[in-house]
Amino acid sequence: MAAKKKTKKGPAKPRGSGGASSKKKAPGKKAAPKGGSPKKGAKKAGSSVKAKKKAGATRKKTTAKKGPTGKAATKKVGAKKAAKKAVAKVTTKKVAGKKTATKKSSKKKAVTKKTTKKKSAAGSPSKVSPGEKLTAQGILKKRAEAKKAADKKAAAQKAAEKKPAGKKVKKVAVKKVSVVAIGESKQASQKGGAKKGAAKKTAPKAEVPVEVETKAPPAPKQRSQPVEVQEIDVRTEKEQRKRLPSYRPKSYGKKPKPASAGEILKILIKFLGKAPTFKRELKGLPLVHLGMFCVFAVGGNPPKVCLEAVKRLVEAFPDWNEFRISDPLEFVEILEDLEIDNLYNRCERVLEFINDVYQDQNGVDLEFLRQSDTEDRLTILDRYVSLGPALAHFLALGIQGFEGVLFHYSWARVVQRLGLVPRSGSPKVLLSSFAKVFKGKDLVTAQVNLIDLGEEICLSKNQSCRSCYLVLHCKGRKV
């Protein structure tokens, strides 16, 4: 501080020194004119030179005095600047270190993001994508999704490994040949193709794998198959064997017209035909032959022709075993010259009836039915699907000489809806009232035709009244 003050004030000037300050203090003096006296001019010039020399000497002295103090001050200022520079360098180094550290951390984060993406693609449930938040619910969802995917893959592999249940496959062994599964990916198939090519090169005479499919034997229709399939089979059989033609009247009328029993029987015979009886000729006939006669006769075929057809078929085959093994076309060839309606279907039904009897009794014989009751006869004959309810009823009436009335729910339902018989829950009352209404008429044809109508059209539920032959005379119709 002392040196600075000295430099500001400076040393004391000598009195006789003629410097710049002396010139500035005397601004009012003027130089002597050129045309003055020479002596005075010379004196003045000499004095000015001396004054300049003195001023130079004083300047050297002042600079010599100022010199050491000025250097010290400059050294101190330089030290301070150096210290500041050092501090600045240290700070820049720290900032550079921080930047490098941030760069390294950013690189590490990028690497971790890549690894997390790869792991998430591979199916790791714990890692979460960088866009999502790390919450407990999100992690649990990811784990659940991964588990579901793993379960699906395992199930697909098991299904591919399992073989189809109804077929047995026999494979021929081949050396160095790889069989590729159907459900594998394209890469696996390409690898398998390459392996096959290599195997062909090494062993050119290798055999190709052959798959032989052996179909399982067909299951029985009524026992092993489910109920729905059984119902479908029954419907198809009914459609094949039904003898009811389609019918649709032009108009149903506002109200049903009442009709007598004779008029209703005429309408049934018009559409369904008769169930003829041949009492004298059929007395000593075996019951199996009687059943064959009923199959040919129902629908209005003449009884003599039907009896002739039965005799020809029995004489054509020496044994029932050969009869059972034969084809319906053989029957048609034997009976071509006889005038029988719908011959092929009837021959097929006769063959099925004989087979049903053989499977049920282990023989072709029904003579034991003569000694049984009417109810037992009907229950036994209802087992034979080839006959159906109407033909079974017809055969039961033939066993007792085609006389009387046998109760059946189908004809009872139709007669009560028509209004011919009063409604009753007792079979005995219905039998007596039916015999009174149809007295003196063809009772056998009435029973058989009404049973057919009740089994196919006039059902207990969902009856098809619009296609019924008796819809114009039925009191309980639903049109």
Question: In this prediction, what percent of the chain has a pLDDT beyond 70?
Answer: 56
Between these two residues, 88 and 448, which has the higher pLDDT value? 448
More confident site: 382 or 46: 382
- Phi, psi (deg, nearest 5) at residue 215: -75, 140
Burial group, residue 226, by CB count within 10 angstroms (0-12, 13-18, 19+): exposed
Tell me the pTM: 0.52
The string of pLDDT tens digits covering residues 342-372 is 899 999 999 999 999 999 999 999 999 999 9
For 402-450, the pLDDT digits (tens) are 988 999 999 999 999 999 999 998 999 999 999 999 998 999 999 999 9
d(CA 65, CA 6): 9
Mean pLDDT computed over every residue of the chain: 73
Partners of 214 in beta bridges: 168
| pLDDT tens string 224-280 | 567 667 667 666 665 656 678 888 888 888 889 989 999 999 999 999 999 988 777
Kindly report the length of the chain.
479
Which of these ranges, 180-189, 248-257, 448-457, has the smallest mean pLDDT?
A: 180-189
Asked if the model's pLDDT at residue 193 lies above 70, the reply is: no
Distance CA 479, CA 461 (A): 14
How far is Cα of residue 115 from the mean position of the Cα atoms in its chain?
Answer: 37
Answer yes or no: is pLDDT of 303 > 80: yes
Q: Which helix (H) or strand (E) holds 287?
A: helix 287-297
Dihedral sign, Cα of residue 140, residue 143, residue 147, residue 152: positive
Which of the residue ranges 46-50, 96-100, 229-233 has the most confident prediction, judged by mean pLDDT?
229-233
Task: Tell me the average pLDDT across 167-188.
Answer: 44
